[in-house]
Amino acid sequence: MNQELTLHQRRRAPTAQELAGIPWLHLLTAQEREVMVPKIVVGDALAGDVVCRVGRAPTYWFGVVEGLLKMSIDTDRGDSLTFTGVSSGGWFGEGTALKQEPYRYNVQALRATLVAGLPIDSFHVLLAQSIGFNRFIMNQLNERLGQFIAAREIDRMNNPDVRVARSLAALFNPILFPGVGEVLQITQQELAYLVGLSRQRVNVALQRLEAAAWIQVAYGGVKVLNLDALRSHTLASHD
């Protein structure tokens, strides 16, 4: 891969296997798929690549075939505030695409990530014509609302264990991120970036969650054993 090329310049047609990882495609009619599949492009984002930038007008509706992205903004204090991570199978930015307004956030790859894009014009064609696609978007918006309400609650919490537990639960959302499966491929440093804690403090939280039999920590990933417990975290924590 030529690392000097931009993500847009590295775009290409997806393979059949990559198309199989796009969750909304199977909701389209055969005729709709025939029209839309040639419109879809994929690109290999490198760690640190910016997929969406504040102030830029959207040209694609994006999703993650495989990998991990971070959605964040830069604050007036000069630091970064992370809203959420986007893991495998997740599509995002439908609100921005619907309103056709500039991005109000940055989206950056935390690791090498295969990103898919549907041109904005095609996105709006599907909205106007496809019942299956509209249902997918409505489910996305409903889940996204719940996700951001939960994120606001997490921001108000001073309990690091709760922050890690709730953030892990959000990344395992089966509607927003259907490609994750049982094991989330994420490092402790990547999780630290998402929750705004040090890697060392994330490690402590993961040990406590594992001791409670809610997760199982594996090399390069986390397996969730009790998703409901993570979502309603009540485990006692002491810093």
What pLDDT is recorded for position 97?
A: 93
What is the C-alpha separation between 106 and 56, in angstroms, rounded?
10
What is the C-alpha separation between 141 and 186, in angstroms, rounded?
25
Q: What's the predicted TM-score (pTM) here?
A: 0.83
- Which part of the chain is CATH 2.60.120.10? 16-151
What pLDDT is recorded for position 65?
A: 95
What pLDDT is recorded for position 238?
A: 45
What pLDDT is recorded for position 195?
A: 87
What pLDDT is recorded for position 150?
A: 66
Q: Architecture of 159-231 per CATH?
A: Orthogonal Bundle (1.10)
What pLDDT is recorded for position 237?
A: 46
Indicate the CATH number of 16-151 among 3.40.630.10, 2.40.30.10, 2.40.50.1020, 2.60.120.10: 2.60.120.10
What pLDDT is recorded for position 9?
A: 84
How many whole angstroms from its chain centre is CA 201?
23
At residue 3, the 3 state secondary structure works out as coil
Q: CA distances (Å), 174 to each of 82, 160, 181, 190, 227, in order? A: 21, 24, 8, 20, 11
How many whole angstroms from its chain centre is CA 153?
19
What pLDDT is recorded for position 77?
A: 73
What pLDDT is recorded for position 239?
A: 47
- Which part of the chain is CATH 1.10.10.10? 159-231
Q: Spell out the per-residue pLDDT of the chain, length 239, in tens.
A: 556 678 878 899 999 999 999 999 999 999 999 999 999 999 999 999 999 999 999 999 999 999 999 998 877 776 677 888 899 999 999 999 999 899 999 999 999 999 999 999 999 999 999 999 999 999 999 888 877 766 666 666 678 888 899 888 888 888 889 888 778 889 999 999 888 889 999 999 999 999 999 999 987 789 989 988 888 865 554 44
What is the C-alpha separation between 41 and 221, in angstroms, rounded?
28
What pLDDT is recorded for position 17?
A: 95
**DSSP string for 136-181:** HHHHHHHHHHHHHHHHHHHHT---HHHHHHHHHHHHT-TTT-TT-T
What pLDDT is recorded for position 28?
A: 97
What is the C-alpha separation between 175 and 140, in angstroms, rounded?
7
What pLDDT is recorded for position 183?
A: 84
